[in-house]
Amino acid sequence: MQVQLTNRQQHILRATVRHYIATAEPVGSKALVEEFDLGVSSATIRNVMGVLEKAGLLYQPHTSAGRIPSDSGYRIYVDQLITPSQSLEKQIEAALQGSLKWEDWSLETLLQGATQILATLSGCVSLITIPQNNLSVLRHLQLVQIETGQIMLIVVTDGYETHSTLMDLPSLSENRPDVEVIDRELQIVSNFLNSQLRGKSLIELPLLDWSKLDREFQRYGEYLKTSLVELTRRSFSPISTQIMVRGVSEVLRQPEFSQIEQVQTIIQLLEEEQEKLWPLIFDETELEQIDKPQVTIRIGSENNLEPIRTCTLISSMYHRGSIPVGSVGVLGPTRLNYENAIALVAAAAEYLSEAMSM
């Protein structure tokens, strides 16, 4: 979301969000004057808050009440107004290392311990998926011309499973392509794919270094990249949707969860319908960026599951080597300490990645 705010508007939005996170009470201009050194009068703050409300970043829950951040306001806050503390991330990682000993524990015990620590430190529901071990290794790849204008990419794994995808042949010229020439070129590109990818995981397909392909065949690269990513997504199916969960009772004491019906739907999702939650926490779009670990933040209505559309879900993949095998996340009200939660998730994912790679 691109919203251009002045420096004053940024300061007042940041102060409003932080005050609301701390108090869970609608925020008025007087409270901001007393708590933050904004250097402006209460009247000026009211005017700016009115502008932020018109922009959809704040709203009034009741006519006579102060204002609270909207999902869009939190999004601006997260994307533009905070910098997750790297020092805090290091402190958290040190705490995990001090409390958890992967050399002495079983994998299940390690994950249970990490889940509990994450819940305790964040004050949120913590979620850690068990590692995925069905990472098929590539045995053979082949490009085959099916008919004029179309080719098929066929992938055979070490378990002799076959995956395939159709793609349009790149337009090389206005003339009708020579079938035999195309067959020879496809064989050369197939040989390249096999030399670079044989013995690697299916998830590593998108990481292929196309610069090693001879320049005269580079035209195939752009067309194949998209097909390889799509093939990876379609062929990657988790062996389990088991998610370890801790911290439910603590977070549900927050005022946002005062309605028993809402609490019941969240508990049902976490305990009985984890397969619905899985696509959010184990984000397959990150398979395209397995060499770029990142934290994903879904705020309120950005979550497509109805039970958590008033919640924030923060998650990050953990890896074995360069391959994502699981995910770490926290689930809480949109009114949460984002700086700390982001640092916690990043540190936990980094810690588990180190453990998985030992």
pLDDT of residue 287: 54
CA dist 11 and 13 (Å) reads 6
DSSP per-residue string spanning 255-267: GGG-SHHHHHHHH
Q: What is the pLDDT of residue 246?
A: 94
Residue at token pair 């990150």: 286
pLDDT given for residue 300 in this prediction: 95
Q: pLDDT value at position 1?
A: 56
Position 133, amino acid: N
Closest CA to 117 of 101, 103, 104, 131: 101
β-strand pairing of 125-129 with 243-246? antiparallel
Q: Which two tokens stand for residue 11?
A: 């300061």
Among 17, 21, 45, smallest CA distance to 33 is for 45
Nearest to 264, CA basis, from 235, 216, 224, 306: 306
* Distance separating alpha carbons of residues 141 and 194, to the nearest angstrom: 6
Between the alpha carbon of residue 308 and those of residues 126, 169, 244, 267, the distances in Å are 14, 44, 17, 10
pLDDT by residue, tens only, the chain of 358 residues = 567 899 999 999 999 999 999 999 999 999 999 999 888 999 999 999 999 999 999 999 887 779 999 999 999 999 999 987 777 778 777 877 777 766 666 778 888 889 999 999 899 999 999 887 656 778 888 989 887 778 888 888 877 778 888 887 766 545 556 778 888 888 988 998 898 888 887 777 767 777 777 776 777 777 777 777 777 666 655 555 689 999 998 888 888 888 888 888 999 999 888 888 888 887 665 555 555 558 999 999 999 999 999 999 999 999 877 777 889 999 999 999 999 999 999 999 998 988 887 6
Q: Determine the 3-state secondary structure of 139 from DSSP.
A: strand
Structure tokens at 112: 């249970």
Tokens describing residue 302: 């950005």
* Nearest in space to 352 (alpha carbons), one of 65, 187, 115, 9: 115
Q: What pLDDT score was predicted for residue 250?
A: 80
Q: Do 225 and 213 meet the contact criterion of CB atoms below 8 Å apart?
A: no
pLDDT of residue 242: 84
Give the Cα separation of 255 and 157 in Å (integer).
51
Q: Which residues contact 245 (CB under 8 A, 6 or more apart)?
A: 115, 125, 126, 127, 270, 271
Predicted TM-score (pTM) of this structure: 0.78
pLDDT of residue 16: 97
With 0-12 / 13-18 / 19 or more C-beta atoms within 10 angstroms meaning exposed / middle / buried, residue 225 is middle
Question: Distance between CA atoms of 130 and 170, rounded to whole angstroms?
Answer: 41
Give the C-alpha separation, 315 to 297, whole Å.
Answer: 7
pLDDT for the residue numbered 299: 97
Residue 345 DSSP label:
H
The dihedral of CA 292, 295, 301, 305: what is its sign?
positive
What integer pLDDT is reported at residue 10 of this predicted model? 95
